[in-house]
A and B are shown apart, each in its own frame.
Chain A
Amino acid sequence: MTETMNAPTPAPDGASTGAPILEVTDLKKHFPIMKGLVRRKVGDVRAVDGISFQIRKGETLGLVGESGCGKSTTGRVILQLDRATEGSVKYEGEELVGKSTSQMRGLRPNMQMVFQDPHASLNPRMTVASIIEEPLIEHRFGDRAERLAWIEELLGLVGLSPTHANRYPHEFSGGQRQRIGIARAIALNPDFVVCDEPIAALDVSIQAQVVNLLERLQDELSLTYLFISHDLSMVRHLADRVAVMYLGRMVELAPVDALYESPQHPYTQALHSAVPVPNPIVEFGRERIILKGDIPSPANPPSGCSFHTRCPIATAECAERVPEWRETNPGHWVACHLV
């Protein structure tokens, strides 16, 4: 089996300053592909296919990559909203993989998620107050009066007004709905929040509002973020370290400046050069790496380095051997034979 060949056992990041709050080791999530009348399993979608990394207390780890590369699945499996196929997720040293739903309940308040679509993630029949109150009730937070006082405070924290509490989601704009989702996510005082494309559905002028809010809350509440996004410019703005995924695998992970100023993996380099810069003079002088072809299907990923079908510098070896996930500089991890 190709996956076991490189069996990436990560050493802790060399340049680590903060202690890890989360340690992910060789994590896999495969979804079965069922076919036919009798629903026979005919294969697997390798949504996440063996990734290892850590997130440190208080940092923002950006997770970037193109559609379908496994970012959301990674976030969901970390929070145990989807069960891992293989591998380990340790939160503050405690193994989460294999925990039952009721065992997870005790940990839930610490780990929360903000979703991409502020329309779909809020129950349209509930008022803002009851949406935020729901997790508080579930985790037996105070009495009703204490809960309402806290909800009022939360609304203030996310830049809404207490008068919004008794309104329904459809009465709000996309940006305001995302604020409600954020208020709900921080209601139980979590330490760790997975933000899955929290600004992707928002207008450009509103994105900055929500990002500034997330940054302010991180400072005020000492939050740790896994910030999932396909917007590389925004990730550069707010992440401390950044991981790049391609077809279920991590191809590069580095402190933000290193990743943007000296990307090492050919895919990261191409991804970078594909992002337009809002400045005509910069755009005029820019060399673009145009990748050939389409992103292959994770149901049938290419052999060896799964990027080899599009990689501008691939060699014969690349189609055969999975490149090892290794630390090329302190804290800078890359999976490529030629780096």
Chain B
Amino acid sequence: MRGFWVTVALEESPLSAEAVLDVSGLTTRFSTPDGVVHAVNDVSFELRAGEFLGVVGESGSGKSVTMMSLLKLIPMPPGHIDAGVADFGGDDLLSIDAAALRTIRGGQIGFIFQDPMTSLNPVLTIGKQLCEPVMLHTGADRKAAKARAIELLDLVGIPDAAQRFKNYPHELSGGMRQRVMIAMALACEPKVIIADEPTTALDVTIQAQIIDLVKDLREKLNTAVIWITHDLGVVAGLADRVIVMYGGRIVEQSPVAELYARPEHPYTQGLLNSVPRIDQKGGELTSIPGQPPSLLAEPTGCSFAPRCPHAFDRCLTEIPQLAAIDAAGEHLSACFWDTVEGRERT
């Protein structure tokens, strides 16, 4: 909802708010038997206080690895973070010690995963799992933690919260489990929540319930949210700003209304043309030819070049850098071609 107004009232929007998280030059690779996977290449972005940042891209484009690298949630080895700084309130998340990172993880930064079953412990009641982080991060005693846990279950719309407190994860439906995950992420009133495809596994009417809940919570809590998804529709309704990833890089970044009205990068344009809309009669779907790139080779040019209708010789030998294409410096694209002017960008 806010996304729209943000762009309409660009001046006094949270777009100009300070950054709570400032990532630059993040590079993460995996050493596998097949070779080195260049999963995240020189990724830089900031998350501003209270904003909702959407991250879209196809599977394998590096969305999860980017965010999980920030909290060292990737398996290391085979993963290794080879470069980058992630400034979070003066600390560099990528270089602080393990104990400090643990306090931040689940405390000031909450994480919500696609499949709640992988992050909930099947042999503990959801109540116990909610109380633990509350006690750990706020120093509350058992009784206070329980009261807080029930309050949180209530907040995320779980009926009969006091009863449900005693349930095990398998006794809940997928939608309810995702609500519990949200409650856990909120437990310590984090400054930042990172949600990785939190509704992808859910049915569409249940997804609508969760999105409705998240919108409602945002108004109440004013937490900054990073929401990873491959669904361009979900982002359109939720985000203030959007990052588009392709081949382990950010290829476009923009306020939400601007991105959908004037997508700049040929990949974003192709993506928007290839999805049908429920509110429109079907015309031709323009598909993007070819396939997403393999990340096994070190890129030497634009990784979209084999599929790009505008590719020219420069695209094969030089990696395009993300750069502002509007006066306000809010809309960024990583492409050598100016699709509006129809000529090479200078």
Contacts and interface: CB of A to CB of B under 8 A. Distances in A.
B168 interface: no
Interface stretch (B217-225, B272-280, B322-330): B272-280
A177 to B, nearest CB: 11
A271 B232 CA distance: 18
B100 to A, nearest CB: 38
Interface stretch (A84-92, A123-131, A187-195, A230-238): A230-238
B208 A290 contact: yes
B208 A175 contact: no
A260 B282 CA distance: 11
A251 to B, nearest CB: 13
A209 interface: yes
A36 interface: no
Given A204-B232, A277-B233, A291 B205 contact: yes
A106 interface: no
A316 interface: no
Interface string A220-242: 00000000001011101110000
A279 B260 contact: yes
B143 interface: no
Interface residues of A, number: 44
B204 interface: yes
Nearest to B203: A66
B132 interface: no
A295 interface: yes
Given A207-B274, A233-B276, A233-B277, A280 B236 contact: yes
Nearest to A310: B205
16 contacts: A67-B203, A203-B58, A204-B58, A205-B288, A212-B284, A233-B276, A237-B285, A257-B281, A271-B204, A276-B233, A278-B260, A278-B275, A279-B236, A281-B260, A284-B3, A288-B208
Interface string B173-185: 1011000000000
Given A278-B275, A280-B3, A294 B236 contact: no
B285 to A, nearest CB: 4
Contacts of A276: 211, 231, 233-234, 236-237
Contact of A282 (B206, B211, B272, B279): B279
A272 B233 CA distance: 13
Contacts of A237: 276, 282, 285
B233 A290 contact: no
Nearest to A213: B287
A233 B278 contact: yes
Contacts of A208: 274-275, 285-288
Contacts of B274: 204-205, 207-208
* Max chain A Cβ within 10 angstroms of own Cβ: one of B207, B230, B236: B236
Contact of B292 (A67, A205, A234, A294): A205
Given A278-B236, A280-B3, A205 B287 contact: yes
A211 interface: yes
A204 to B, nearest CB: 6
A236 B292 CA distance: 26
Given A173-B292, A206-B287, 19 more contacts: A66-B203, A66-B205, A176-B291, A211-B287, A233-B233, A238-B282, A271-B205, A274-B205, A275-B204, A275-B278, A276-B237, A278-B275, A279-B260, A283-B3, A290-B208, A290-B209, A290-B212, A291-B208, A295-B173
User: Which 9 A-B pairs give the minimum distances between C-beta atoms?
Assistant: A276-B233, A237-B282, A208-B287, A283-B237, A274-B208, A237-B276, A208-B274, A278-B232, A66-B203
